[in-house]
Chain A
Amino acid sequence: METVIEVRDARREYVSRSGVWKREKRVVKAVDGISFEVRRGEIFGLLGQNGAGKTTTIKMLTTLLAPTGGSCRVLGCDTFGEEKRIRPRINFIFGGEMGVYRRLSARDNLRYFSNLYLLPRGEQEKRIERILGLVDLAERADDLAETYSKGMIQRLQIARGLINDPEILFMDEPTVGLDPVGARMLRDIIRRLKEEGRTVLLTTHNLAEVEELCDRLVIINKGKVIARGTPEEIKGGFDTLEDAYVKLIEGVSA
């Protein structure tokens, strides 16, 4: 099966400086030489503790950040240098309540992003209606997003992430703060995307969700890959993926 994401020895450092007179330079290695591949049509999990480097990895893959070293290729193109060929074909959703214009309605948000994704005018309204129905926001589509609950804002984020019918959807903790109904709706959407042959790269702390959805996954810790495989392979002799995960993290932290 075709490889659509290829990460080779990717590294990313953040440099910060403090002090007024004597500037002190501090370098944090967020991602420290990770490698993995994702095949077309897979739901791929990226797991790890807070600060493990998951979000940084997603940002490098979505062309938001330049890798400090190594390479990140998406759909056969380098994410730093060939980003213009990647951007129309992917999209991303970050968890939480960010990433929408709160003083616009859901419909206006989607209209605006469909313009930014250069969708033909005739197609925009049809697609917006379909997506609003998919995330169950059709009834409140013309209310300002600032009047929405947290879950509704996240559903609007999901809708925005689907606006360009992406071949690959990157999701960074998309179910954070979602109520059980919203979380299930998102899982259903992810499954439907897989049925349509789309690829999803997902980070989450919900290991039951990973077991339920992911075909394969990598676990990263302090910027390095510490395990990879299918959920069954990673579970090994443990009853649950959570037990296996905790053991792995404890093992490398000891």
Chain B
Amino acid sequence: MSLAVLLATMRVQMKQSFARPMFRFCLIANPILNTVLLYEMYRGSGEESFMAYVVLGAGLMGLWSCICFSSAGDINRERYSGTLALIFVAPASFPTIILGKIIGNTLLSLLTLGISLVTAAVLFRTPLMLESPLYFLFALLAAVAAFVVISSVVACLLTLSRKTELYMNCIEIPIILLCGFVFPVSVLPAAVRAVSYALSPTYAVELLRMSVWGVEEPAAFWQKLGILLGLTALYAVLSALLYRRIDRRVRVAATLEVA
């Protein structure tokens, strides 16, 4: 893996993403609107920590939307602009290029958490407490890794198909619901919860929420973090295997370009 390629791709991706009005909407307007919506939903619910569900929920929804419509949507944009074929046959490894794009987008998309926080603080003047900032930092880093890896799997699968837009719309809301971005997963039926706990973002969200409330049992935090990192590693292996396969598959199926 070339670090120069990774960094150059991250830089180019951030420039390009920010230049797109739709990305700016997802990055800036979306978390503001979601914060207002969630605040109104949670206002009379008895939940005292607006930080855990309103700020974090809106921020994570915005983050996931940015990832879906950029990391995934970029495959289609590259395909329609004729650059997917160019980056695919460049001597730099294709997975490194895709990883650079995803890291660039994810780092930029983290802004949604800050925007959500500022919105809640300015509009509603509610107390926003973060009880365990150090744990939050660990949880955030692990969450970023989890989102990067899951995006990489999605982007890889989307390289194989031309129905990218359909799929990226299909995965946005289900992940928000299944992974408990805006409500605890415990309210979901048991069968659905089984799916939730197979998805790494569920653990990331729970870890972030634990650190907002305050980590009273560090062992429980570290155990959950261990599961998250384990799942992330598993997804990373899956992603690496998939990328090895698509290199041949896309050239047989001719999906690099628009027909």
Contacts and interface: CB of A to CB of B under 8 A. Distances in A.
Report the contact-size class of chain A (Cβ under 8 Å from the partner): 20 to 34
A5 to B, nearest CB: 16
A118 B251 contact: no
B218 interface: no
B186 interface: no
Contact of B90 (A65, A87, A94, A98): A87
A113 interface: yes
Contact of A64 (B16, B19, B88, B91): B88
Contact of A66 (B16, B83, B91, B251): B251
Interface in A137-190: 160, 164
Interface in B217-248: 248
A99 B78 CA distance: 9
Contact of B97 (A66, A96, A116): A116
Contacts of A66: 248, 251-252
A88 interface: yes
Given A65-B251, A112-B12, A116-B5, A87 B82 contact: no
Interface string A42-64: 00000000000000000000111
A119 to B, nearest CB: 10
Interface string B85-111: 111111110000100000000000000
Nearest to B2: A118
Nearest to A98: B82
Contacts of A118: 2, 4-5, 91-92
Contacts, number: 78
Contact of A101 (B4, B83, B248, B251): B83
A242 interface: no
Interface in B1-45: 2, 4-5, 8-9, 12, 15-16, 19-20
A82 to B, nearest CB: 13
Interface of B: 2, 4-5, 8-9, 12, 15-16, 19-20, 81-83, 85-92, 97, 248, 251-252, 254, 256-257
Given A102-B81, A116-B91, 18 more contacts: A14-B254, A64-B88, A64-B257, A66-B251, A80-B248, A83-B89, A98-B82, A98-B83, A99-B81, A99-B83, A100-B81, A101-B83, A108-B15, A112-B8, A113-B86, A116-B8, A117-B90, A118-B92
5 contacts: A63-B89, A80-B248, A94-B82, A99-B86, A103-B15
